Amino acid sequence: MILSKNFTQIATITLCLVVITTLLNSPSRASSIASKAKNVLVTAPKYNSSHFTVDAINKIVSARSNDEIVSIKFLISNTGSKILTLEVAGTSCGCTSAKLLSLQLKPGENEDFEVSVQTIGFADKNESVRLFTNDPENPQITLSVNVKMPKIAVPDPTNIELHAWQGQSYRQTMFLLMTKGVSIQKISLKLPFLHVKLLQSQLDSDPISQLYEISVSNDAPVGLFKDKIIFKLSSSSEQKLVVPVTGIIQSNIEITPNQLFLNEVLPGVVLNKTITARSHDKRSFQIQKVVCDNLQISTKIDSQKYASTHTIFITIHGDKIKNRFIDDTLTIVLSTGESLKLPIIGMVAN
């Protein structure tokens, strides 16, 4: 038994001497073995847990328009030995969003994490996304996105508001400053009653100065409207300028008051209210009928003839109101084809 043990030790020592002699006589082979050993050490897990790694904490992206959604990707990796879990905790504003709300990566895995930002206005934006992780060393991570806005064209004002009476046109001017060498290739709008017209252009100035007229025609329908003027610019990056346009076309017929507030209505009590309908431009019109959605009311119009002003007398019977709360609408139908709405609000006393 002792002889066998001594023989084993002698054989082991002899093998080690042979290996050492071989490495000393062949440096290239020794280098190869060392390199392989180094690679093994690099790929071995460094952390005894999940570990968050990202290619960059802050990234920069350039927008081509002042009204678009720009996106950028962060490469997230798990360099730990356990599963990495991520969850979006929040964003810096409502204009910023993440494509994935949660993510799980096995050891050695990586995946793109996409962040999108809605560009509004002309100033550069700095937005961010906060992440919760199960990495003990990085329980909370903030990924930042710096959006560089195009500066080759800037309008003044930056948004257009148009307000007009029914049947009347209205216009507003806007200055546009552009970098030397940039020109307008195309101007587009969606609403047919909105128009853009170039009034003046100074191409020899730096920056280039142009004066535009934005107008709403007299055939615009009554109500709120919203659109965008899109200027397609002649630049290498195909940039465009977006100018929001909002407004309202008010009915030529005004109702006074603009709502009926009944306060507390006592059962059995009769309420008498008066409404005046008046033409803004003194044009004559006729009231064809007055109806209420739910309430049982009595109405009387001062005249069935055409006139620029009409008075409507309304009688409301408290004992005919079935509900505790009153939320109704009075509709006045005009000879012009319009239907004017008048809210009725109140409550019935116990």
Give phi and psi for 305, each to the nearest 5: -85, 170
In a domain, 276, yes or no: yes
Backbone angles phi, psi at 100, to 5 degrees: -110, 130
Q: How far apart are CA 291 and CA 89, in angstroms?
A: 52
pLDDT band at 30 (very low <50, low <70, confident <90, very high): very low
pLDDT digits (tens, 9 = 90+) for 78-94: 999 999 999 999 999 99
Range(s) of the domain holding residue 193: 153-250
Residue 15 DSSP one-character state: H
24 inside domain: no
Does any domain span residue 171?
yes
Please list the residues that pair with 345 across neighbouring strands.
Answer: 261, 327
Which pLDDT score is estimated for 43?
A: 39
Above 70 in pLDDT, residue 339?
yes
pLDDT at 213: 97
Residue 128: φ, ψ to 5°: -155, 160
Q: Are residues 199 and 266 in the same domain?
A: no
Co-location of 158 and 239 in the same domain: yes
CA atoms within 13 Å, Cβ hemisphere of 92 = 14
Considering the domain boundaries, does residue 119 fall inside one?
yes
Q: Which of 226, 169, 171, 234 is nearest to 197 (CA)?
A: 171
Say if residues 66 and 147 touch (Cβ distance below 8 Å).
no
Q: What is the predicted pLDDT for the residue at 36?
A: 42
Boundary (domain end) residue, out of 130, 148, 166 = 148
Beta bridge partners of 241: 231
What average pLDDT score do residues 275-282 get? 88
Q: Is residue 22 part of a domain?
A: no
Are 265 and 214 contained in the same domain? Answer: no
| Final residue belonging to a domain, choices 148, 167, 193 | 148
> pLDDT class for 152, splitting at 50, 70, 90?
confident
Distance CA 54, CA 128 (A): 15
Dump the DSSP string for 46-73: S-SS--EEES-SEEEEE-SBSSSEEEEE
Same domain? For 100 and 135 the reply is yes
Number of domains in the chain: 3
- 179 and 101 share one domain: no
The enclosing domain of 207 has a CATH number of 2.60.40.10
289 and 314 in a common domain: yes
Rounded Cα–Cα distance for residues 136 and 110 (Å): 19
Cα–Cα–Cα angle for 194, 192, 333, nearest 5°?
95
- Selected residue with higher pLDDT from 238 and 57: 57
Q: How far is CA 260 from CA 256, 285, 320, 323, 329, in A?
A: 9, 23, 17, 17, 9
* Residue 122 sits in the same domain as residue 195: no
Residues 234 and 262 in one domain: no
In the chain, how many H helices and how many E strands?
2, 25
> According to the model, what pLDDT value does residue 163 have?
93
What mean pLDDT comes out for the span 304-319? 85
pLDDT in tens, 233-262: 886 566 889 999 999 998 888 889 988 887
Q: Provide mean pLDDT across the span 104-122.
A: 91
pLDDT of residue 29 exceeding 60, the answer is no
pLDDT for residue 40 is more than 60: no
Same domain for 219 and 176: yes
Confidence band of 182 (pLDDT split at 50, 70, 90):
confident
Across the chain, mean pLDDT equals 83
- For the cut 50, the answer to whether the pLDDT of residue 5 exceeds it is no
Check whether residue 269 and residue 344 sit in a common domain: yes
Nearest 10 degrees: Cα torsion 80, 103, 86, 59: 90
Residue 42: the pLDDT is 34
